[in-house]
Amino acid sequence: MSQDRTSKKGKPAGRPRGRPPSKAARQKALQAARDILMREGFGRLTVEAVAARSGVGKPTLYRNWANASELAMAALMAGEVETTEAGDARLETALGGQMRALVRAFATTRGRQIAIALAAADPESEMTKAFRNRVILSSREAGRGTIEAAAARGEIGPVDDIEALLDMIYGPLFYRLLVGHRPLDERFADNVVAIALRALGVGNRP
């Protein structure tokens, strides 16, 4: 009959009416998806396989996620939040630490699965946007905070083209992840940060 799930009535509206969605089912599905992603890769993460491994019914999966790639993103997102503090450390220390952590986090199977999932997803879906913001762009935003804090306290001058600069710091990580032409290691992290700092006028050659 009525498809309106939100039922935006004036009432404070306690619980909606019927049996509530099962958190347990969602958790089991995400865990199974994570397992498959790590053991067999994105291409084998089918809705059918998740249903079989998790014991959750297919219709329940489709009630929660629109397709396999949204399920993959949800699995990759779960427990992702570790945002670094904008802190007071010197810019090099702060950026370098974050970059090294990122490299460690992404230089795994999961890193490439994240890139593939992003490529395969419908770029307009809400889930994709959430994934993008929480998994891909959150570090970029942390970096923006770090740099702006350094500018505010006078460690560096004002930065006018910060968007491009941020892409130059965080883009290379995904570039290497996707293209695979060179390894993702800490030396790489350090070099990227060093170059960015030179561009910011820190530690320039004489």
Partner touching 27 among a second copy, DNA, none, CB below 5 to 8 Å by kind: none
Instruction: Answer yes or no whether residue 165 interacts with a second copy by CB under 8 A.
Output: yes
> Using the rule CB under 8 A, is 29 a contact of a second copy?
no
Under the rule (CB under 7 A), what is the footprint of DNA?
1-2, 5, 7, 14-22, 24-26, 28, 44, 46-49, 55-60, 62-64, 67-68
- Residue 169 CB partners (closer than 8 Å, separation 6+): 95, 99, 140, 143, 192, 193, 196
Q: What is the DSSP letter of 133?
A: I
Q: By the 8 A CB rule, do 99 and 169 touch?
A: yes
Q: Which is nearer to a second copy, 51 or 94 (CB)?
A: 51
Please count the residues of the chain: 206
Contacts of 205 (CB under 8 A, 6+ apart): 198
At 45, is the secondary structure helix, strand, or coil?
coil
> Residue 183: which of DNA, a second copy, none does it interact with, CB under 5 to 8 A by kind?
none
101 within 8 A of 84, measured Cβ to Cβ: yes
Is residue 136 within the footprint of a second copy (CB under 8 A)?
Answer: yes
**Residue 67 binds what, of DNA, a second copy, none (CB under 5 to 8 Å, by partner type)?**
DNA
Q: Which C-beta is closer to a second copy: that of 1 or that of 24?
A: 1
118 near a second copy, rule: CB under 8 A:
yes
Complex with DNA: residue 44 or 153, whichever CB lies closer: 44
Q: How far is the CB of 106 from DNA (least distance, A)?
A: 25
Whether the Cβ atoms of residue 189 and residue 102 lie closer than 8 Å to each other: yes
**Of 52, 80, 88, 90, the one binding a second copy by CB under 8 A:** 52
Smaller CB distance to DNA: residue 32 or 189?
32
Which whole-number Å values give the CA distances from 190 to 26, 52, 60, 131, 197, in the listed order? 39, 44, 45, 27, 11
Least Cβ distance, residue 3 to DNA (angstroms): 9
Tokens of 43: 């291409």
CA angle, residues 168, 174, 180, in degrees to nearest 5: 120
Cβ-based neighbours of 109, under 8 Å, separated by 6 or more = 37, 38, 41
Binding site for a second copy (CB under 8 A): 1, 52, 55, 115-116, 118-120, 123, 132, 136-137, 140, 157, 161, 163-165, 167-176, 178-182, 188, 191-192, 194-196, 198-199, 201, 204-205
